[in-house]
């Protein structure tokens, strides 16, 4: 059994959707796939993708990204309601959104958002970041409130132990996962990449590997004893920062 990872497939792009469809129906039937968010905000299309992937893999595990919680193209009243609908679509397709266990391996999904703990929100980011228009939060929740709402759901999982533990989130748990070669002109997005609260939870859980998405910058780096892996598929134009393939991170 192997564990493969990918994130940020963005199947609203036809090339990306075709890549998903073309994944072998025979090569991975004994394997697990972790999808670390951002498949699509379209629930019908998300359902189609889940149906396709569960025919290809022994088990598919998923956490929603920010794009899934957009409500600008559907009739959902707010993004927390959308989250519940996404969870139901996953359950209907036997896609796991809870921890997965076997005798030697545990895989733990960690929800999150961003709270500007990496850097302060800027006027530039507020103007162009789609989440500020496409997401709607009840009770005027601020991003920090949304982050706390989601990370609170992770607390029950932080005592999980096994021979190997893999955790995964869509959002970044620490900003030093962004490589130093990122040009200064692109760093304005850093406030919306994740939260230090996720890293605090990861340190409690002590996984061997943590998988994340969102940044679209593929990376494998070990920090303070934990291996962090990003294998975002990304947009069609992002060939230079993405391997555009599944990545195996575990084999037993």
Q: Tell me the CA end-to-end span of the chain in Å, nearest whole number.
A: 5
Find, among 169, 202, 203, 172, the residue nearest to 190 by Cα: 172
Q: Distance of CA 103 to CAs 70, 98, 106, 166, 248, Å?
A: 37, 17, 8, 14, 20
Residues 18-21: contacts with CB under 8 Å, at least 24 apart: 19/233, 19/244, 20/49, 20/52, 20/53, 21/52
Residue 102: CB atoms within 10 A of its CB come to 14
pLDDT of residue 94: 98
Q: What residues does 211 pair with on adjacent strands?
A: 168, 229
Q: Can you tell me the distance from the alpha carbon of 103 to that of 50, in angstroms, rounded to the nearest whole number?
A: 26
Tens-binned pLDDT, residue by residue, of the chain (252 aa): 999 999 999 999 999 999 999 999 999 999 999 999 999 999 999 999 999 999 999 999 999 999 999 999 888 999 999 999 999 999 999 999 999 999 999 999 999 999 999 999 999 999 999 999 999 999 889 999 999 999 999 999 999 999 999 999 999 999 999 999 999 999 999 999 999 999 999 999 999 999 999 999 999 999 999 999 999 999 999 988 899 999 999 999
Q: Distance of CA 138 to CAs 70, 74, 77, 146, 149, Å?
A: 13, 16, 9, 10, 12
Q: Distance of CA 61 to CAs 100, 177, 191, 239, Å?
A: 8, 23, 27, 25
- pTM for this prediction: 0.97
Q: Can you tell me the distance from the alpha carbon of 19 to that of 30, in angstroms, rounded to the nearest whole number?
A: 20
* Domain boundaries, given as residue ranges, for the chain: 2-251
As assigned by CATH, the class of the 2-251 domain is alpha beta
């Amino acid at each position: 059994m192997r564990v493969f990872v990918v994130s940020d497939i963005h199947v609203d792009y036809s090339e990306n959707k075709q890549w998903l469809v073309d994944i072998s129906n025979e090569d991975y039937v004994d394997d697990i796939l972790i999808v670390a968010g951002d498949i699509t905000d379209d629930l019908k299309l998300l359902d189609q993708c889940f149906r396709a992937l569960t025919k290809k893999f022994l088990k598919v595990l998923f956490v929603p990204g920010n794009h899934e919680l957009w409500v600008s193209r559907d009739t959902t009243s707010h993004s927390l309601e959308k989250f519940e609908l996404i969870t139901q679509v996953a359950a209907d397709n036997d896609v796991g959104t809870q921890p997965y266990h076997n005798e030697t391996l545990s895989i733990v999904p960690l929800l999150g958002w961003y709270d500007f703990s990496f850097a302060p929100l800027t006027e530039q980011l507020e103007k162009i970041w789609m989440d500020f228009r496409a997401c709607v939060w009840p009770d005027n929740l601020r991003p920090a409130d949304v982050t706390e709402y989601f990370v609170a759901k992770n607390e029950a999982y932080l005592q999980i132990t096994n021979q190997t533990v893999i955790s995964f989130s869509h959002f970044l748990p620490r900003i030093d996962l962004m490589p130093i070669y990122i040009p200064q002109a692109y760093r304005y997005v850093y406030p919306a990449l994740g939260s230090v609260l996720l890293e605090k939870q990861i340190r409690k859980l002590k996984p061997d590997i943590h998988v994340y998405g969102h940044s679209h910058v593929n990376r494998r780096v070990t920090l303070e004893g934990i291996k962090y892996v990003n294998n975002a598929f990304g947009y069609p134009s992002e060939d230079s920062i993405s391997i555009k393939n599944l990545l195996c991170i575990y084999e037993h």
